[in-house]
Amino acid sequence: MSRIVVLGAGVVGMTSAYALAKKGHEVCVVDAAPGPAEAGASFGNGAQLSYYYTDAMASPSLAANIPKYILRLDPAFRVRLTLSPAFMAWGLRFLGNATQKAFERNTTDILELGLQSRSGIADLSEKLEFDYSKTGKITLFSSKKSLLKAEGLSKLKNRYGAGQVVLTREQALEKEPALAHYGHFFEGAIWSPHDEAGDSSLFCRNLRVLLERDYGVCFLFNTKVRRIQTRANELVGVTAETEEIQCSRAVISLGAWTAPIAKTAGISLPIWPVQGYSLTVPALTLAPVASITDTARKTVFCRIGDRLRIAGLADIGPVNGKFKEDRFRTLLTTAKGIFPKAGDYDGEVHAWTGFRPVTPDSKPVVGPTRVKGLYLNCGHGSLGWTLSMATAEKLSELVGTFSAHCSLISDLDGCHLRRSGT
């Protein structure tokens, strides 16, 4: 087994390192930040292991609402158009995935991946501490129409063993008494018993300890990658700001930063960063025990140990990477409106922003590239932690399979994970 360099120490890079190291590879992880999951989406995400809430981002309802998002009539979503060719190309493919048929196909494909991930996370939970909880998820719907639509999708998911149940308002209150303090009306809910939660940042930090201790994985932090070096279509190394890293095998798992680095090796990836925000406050006794998703306000509440994490907002458009105070305030006001008594909003509030690396069909990109020795594990969108164990495993199988020769990927669909059996 030869050395493999994993670029990125977010949850996708860390789980890639784990799967590769378990297969006997010598692994080295490189990241610009001083530690794992410090600078990317894996730090402050919604903390959900949503194996069954795998709805693709591109959907008929999102497409229908785009004018509203452009006009800023929905606080949770914003679309800002830009003339960037990369954005337009991504946007057109995204819209192409917004049909009902594509939405259902993408959602169930992602669900299959989620299911593969679930046992991997459960196994790791016996070795790592990460505030893991198996408290299930309640998704709230404000109208009969939206509940009915969700019920249809739920039936589809139940064919995969989701075990989801439609709850009346009263049944939801019985299941989660904290809903008595919910600040808005809801018509009903869907209970998803097998969805889980935890802290993906803590997961990555403790996974680092395990990787160093049990597998001898090395870490190069504070090492910002500038470009991939190739010769005659073969990987020869990685140029970082501070050093040249010679290698004949590497995996790019740089989350929302993947596309520009892949481009230096001549690989175009339609991955667009979609900005979101979270806040973490001390949980109060009236905080929900189950994870709660408010679909009308597109906000998720989740207990992580004695903290309450609230995540939401999706800003699609030109990326400048900045934390926007007004957007954070929107999330804070929404959170206070939904569950005013669940968290200590006047105490220590940890504010965070991050970028979901979103592909047009919301499916991750995993596998070899046309550059011999260069692999991808990226584009996990809104569900990177949930899917990470499955994509890492897939990657480790593909590295084994294709390591001896160059595998051509002519288009993105060739390296997307497909529904099993197709």
Binding site for ligand FAD (CB under 6 A): 8-13, 30-33, 37, 39-42, 45-48, 50, 224-225, 253-257, 261, 276-278, 311, 354-357, 378, 380-386
Cβ-based nearer residue to ligand FAD, 255 or 368: 255
Closer to ligand FAD at the Cβ: 42 or 116?
A: 42
Shortest Å, Cβ 258 to ligand FAD? 7
Q: Which of 355, 354, 358, 409 shows the shortest CA–CA distance to 379?
A: 358
Nearer to ligand FAD, 205 or 249 (CB): 205
**Residue 177 or residue 318: which is nearer to ligand FAD going by CB?**
318
Q: How far apart are CA 230 and CA 91, in angstroms?
A: 30
The partner residues of 228 in beta bridges, in order of sequence, read 238
In 10 A of CB 115, how many CB atoms?
17
Burial of 413 (0-12, 13-18, 19+ CB in 10 A): exposed
Residues 6+ apart with CB under 8 A from 82: 317, 318
In the bound state with ligand FAD, the residue whose beta carbon lies nearer, of 170 and 325, is 325
Report the nearest approach of ligand FAD to the CB of residue 313 (Å).
Answer: 7
Nearest to 150 by CA among 59, 36, 217, 228: 59
Amino acid at residue number 378: C
Q: What angle do CA 378, 380, 385 make, to 5 degrees?
A: 110
Q: How many CA atoms lie within 13 A of 261 on its CB side?
A: 26
CB of 284 to ligand FAD, least distance (A): 21
Query: Least Å distance between CB 77 and ligand FAD?
Result: 12
Nearer Cβ to ligand FAD, position 233 or 264?
Answer: 264
Closest approach, Cβ 144 to ligand FAD, in A, equals 27
Query: What's the closest the beta carbon of residue 179 comes to ligand FAD, in angstroms?
Result: 20
Classify each residue of 260-281 as buried b or exposed e, where b means 16 or more C-beta atoms within 10 Å of its C-beta: ebbeebebebbbbbbbbbbbbb
Q: Smaller CB distance to ligand FAD: residue 27 or 41?
A: 41
Q: How far is the CB of 201 from ligand FAD (least distance, A)?
A: 9
d(C-alpha 4, C-alpha 22), whole Å: 13
Cβ atoms of 67 and 303 closer than 8 Å: no
Six token digits for residue 360:
């047009």
Q: Least CB distance from residue 405 to ligand FAD, whole Å?
A: 27
Q: Which is nearer to ligand FAD, 174 or 241 (CB)?
A: 241
